[in-house]
Amino acid sequence: MADLRPSLRVADLFAARAAEAARRRAEAEAAEAQKKADLLAFTERVQTYEITEEDRQRALARIRKAFEAGEKELMLVKFPSVICEDGGRRINNHLEGWQDTLPGVFHKIYEWWERELAPGGFTFSARIIDFPGGMPGDVGIFIGWPQSLD
């Protein structure tokens, strides 16, 4: 005798939809947890990293290359604004003391500029370079120079 059960049931479709939604939710939660863990690890490295002579020479080579290409500044590095003590608010609003909000190695880059590059005529700036969802995203650290010596 032939099987008279329906080959497709609405209950099965709803169950499959719920299972797929649960799978996507679990994937999104896992991705968010990984993102938070990566940010925490990055923040820890930022706080403990010491600038090496190799780092300095690599930065100087990049500055020379940008200068020779006719650029007027170089974005040396970028990092998430959320690791600034104020979330990047002072940088974004160009408030006095913004450089003091730079975390760890990024403040050391500022000190390196102040000690070694500023006397040679270079400028230093930091600015928010993107606004995902309307909120400050990454901070770019820029080393600049004049277009001419005039």
Residue pLDDT, tens place only, 45-81: 999 999 999 999 999 999 999 999 999 999 999 999 9
Write the CB contacts of 117 (distance below 8 Å, at least 6 apart in sequence): 124, 143
Query: 137 in a domain, yes or no?
Result: yes
Same domain? For 31 and 60 the reply is no
Q: Which two tokens stand for residue 127?
A: 């600015």
Full-model pTM: 0.80
- pLDDT band for position 113 (cuts 50, 70, 90): very high
Quote the domain boundaries for residue 37: 9-48
Decide: 142 and 75 in contact? Cβ < 8 Å: yes
Residue 34: strand, helix, or coil: helix
Query: d(Cα 87, Cα 136) in Å, to the nearest integer?
Result: 8
30, part of any domain? yes
Same domain, 38 and 56: no
Judge if 43 and 58 occupy the same domain.
no
Encode pLDDT of 6-48 as tens digits: 788 999 999 999 999 999 999 999 999 999 999 999 999 999 9
Residues 18 and 77 in one domain: no
**34 and 92 part of one domain:** no
